[in-house]
Amino acid sequence: MVNKITLLVPIIVSSIIIGILGLVFVPSDIKNRNLDFSTGTIKIDDTIINVEVADSDDERQRWLMFREENLPPNSGLLLVYDKPDLYSMWLLNIRYPLDLLWFDQQGNLVYTVRDAQPCDNFLDFSSCTFKNTKPSKFVLAAHSGFISQNNIANASKLEILSI
């Protein structure tokens, strides 16, 4: 009788290799597929910001992946979740650094990451995964430097004007 480990090891190794190759060689039609996010307007403190809105599971999973152009100044992508929780942002296949801001259900800023660097190596996701420490309902991704340029502080507040 053949040892189970002898059978499982090649299967597991093959599965890992196929998965890695799938990530590395994503078809160009998937990479170049642009999601048409709905747009909206938010206010952080006294600053009005135009945002693209990702409020479905598909949009939140795809968010800024494979997007070639950087987010313009005073704009961002607002991820809207159904309920407050701890949400991590994995910067796999993101082309540029981001400022990330997490807001709770009342619009209070609960966590920020400045100049979050995208993944250099998809095998080491710990250096490019960012997670809030307090429950949030909204995550704003903006260009690196956004927090400083807009004087965002721990007491900053998000107000949804239209989404």
**pLDDT by residue (tens digit) across 73-85?**
889 999 999 999 9
Over the chain, what is the mean pLDDT?
86
Instruction: Indicate left, alpha or beta for 122 from its phi (over 0: left) and psi (-120 to 50: alpha).
Output: alpha
Q: Is the pLDDT of residue 149 over 90?
A: yes
| pLDDT score of 9 | 80
- Band of residue 136 on the pLDDT scale cut at 50, 70, 90: very high
CA distance 102 to 141: 9
Three-state SS at 51: strand
Three-state SS at 156: coil
- Band of residue 116 on the pLDDT scale cut at 50, 70, 90: very high
| pLDDT score of 109 | 97
| pLDDT score of 70 | 82
Q: What is the pLDDT of residues 102-113, one digit of tens each?
A: 999 999 999 999
Q: Is the pLDDT of residue 30 over 90?
A: no
What residues have CB less than 8 Å from 29, skipping those under 6 apart?
A: none
Q: Is the pLDDT of residue 155 over 80?
A: yes
**CATH number for the domain formed by residue range(s) 34-162:** 2.60.120.1140
Q: Is the pLDDT of residue 4 over 80?
A: no
For the chain, the structural domain boundaries read 34-162
**What is the average pLDDT across 12-20?**
80
pTM of the predicted protein model? 0.77
**What is the average pLDDT across 15-29?**
70
